[in-house]
Amino acid sequence: MTKKSTFILALVAALGFLFSFQAEQASALTRFISIGTGGTGGVYYPYGGGVAEIWTRNVKGVKAVAEVTGASVENTKLCHKGETLFGEIMSDVAFQAYTGTGKFKDKPQKIRGMFVMYPNVYHIVTRQDSGINSIADLKGKKVSVGAPGSGTEFMTNLILAGALNVPYDSFNVFRLSFNENANALKDNSIKAGIWCVAPPTSSIMDLATTHKIRVIPFSQDEIDKVTSKYPFYAGYTLPAGTYNGQDKDVYTASVWNTFICNADLDDELVYELTKAVFENQEFLMKIHHFAKYTTPENAVKYSAIPLHPGAIKYIKEKGIEVPDRLIAK
Residue 165 lies in a domain: yes
Confidence of residue 149 (pLDDT cuts 50, 70, 90): confident
- Per-residue pLDDT, averaged over 179-186, amounts to 97
φ, ψ (nearest 5 deg) of residue 245: 85, -5
The distance in angstroms from the start CA to the end CA of the chain is: 72
Task: Say how far apart CA 165 and CA 158 lie, in whole Å.
Answer: 10
Nearest to 232 by CA among 298, 323, 302: 302
Out of 223, 255, 287, a domain closes at 255
pLDDT at 21 over 80: no
Q: Same domain for 179 and 220?
A: yes
Task: Say how far apart CA 318 and CA 94 lie, in whole Å.
Answer: 25
Q: What is the pLDDT of residues 109-137, one digit of tens each?
A: 999 999 999 999 999 999 999 999 999 99
Q: Same domain for 211 and 303?
A: no
Residue 113 lies in a domain: yes
Residue 62 lies in a domain: yes
In total, how many domains does the chain have?
2
Residue 244 lies in a domain: yes
Task: Say how far apart CA 296 and CA 171 lie, in whole Å.
Answer: 42
CATH number where 291 lies: 3.40.190.10
Nearest to 257 by CA among 34, 47, 79: 47
Q: Same domain for 42 and 141?
A: no
Q: At what angle do helices 44-58 and 267-278 cross, to 10 degrees?
A: 110
Residue 27 is predicted with a pLDDT of: 45
Q: Same domain for 216 and 269?
A: no
Asked whether 157 and 168 are in contact (CB, 8 A), the reply is yes
> In the chain, what percentage of residues exceed pLDDT 70?
91
Q: Same domain for 149 and 274?
A: no
Out of 224, 255, 286, a domain closes at 255
Residue 11 is predicted with a pLDDT of: 47
Q: Same domain for 277 and 230?
A: no
Question: Residue 321: what residue type?
Answer: E
φ, ψ (nearest 5 deg) of residue 38: -165, -155
Q: What is the pLDDT of residues 51-87, one digit of tens each?
A: 999 999 999 999 999 999 999 999 999 999 999 999 9
Range of the domain at 306: 29-117+257-326
Residue 229 lies in a domain: yes
Q: What is the pLDDT of residues 218-273, one digit of tens each?
A: 999 999 999 999 988 999 999 999 999 999 999 999 999 999 999 999 999 999 99
Residue 7 lies in a domain: no
Asked whether 264 and 109 are in contact (CB, 8 A), the reply is no
pLDDT at 196 over 70: yes
Q: Same domain for 193 and 315?
A: no
State which H helix or E strand residue 120 sits in: strand 111-127
Out of 255, 283, 317, a domain closes at 255
Q: Same domain for 141 and 263?
A: no
Task: Say how far apart CA 214 and CA 302 lie, in whole Å.
Answer: 30
Q: Same domain for 144 and 41?
A: no
pLDDT at 8 over 80: no
Average pLDDT for the chain: 92
Give the Å distances, CA to CA, from 133 to 150, 167, 282.
25, 18, 39
Nearest to 289 by CA among 46, 87, 58: 46
Nearest to 110 by CA among 265, 266, 312: 265
- Per-residue pLDDT, averaged over 177-185, amounts to 97
Residue 159 lies in a domain: yes
Residue 231 is predicted with a pLDDT of: 85
- Model's pTM, two decimal places? 0.82
Task: Say how far apart CA 117 and CA 79 lie, in whole Å.
Answer: 17
Question: Residue 190: what residue type?
Answer: I
Residue 10 lies in a domain: no
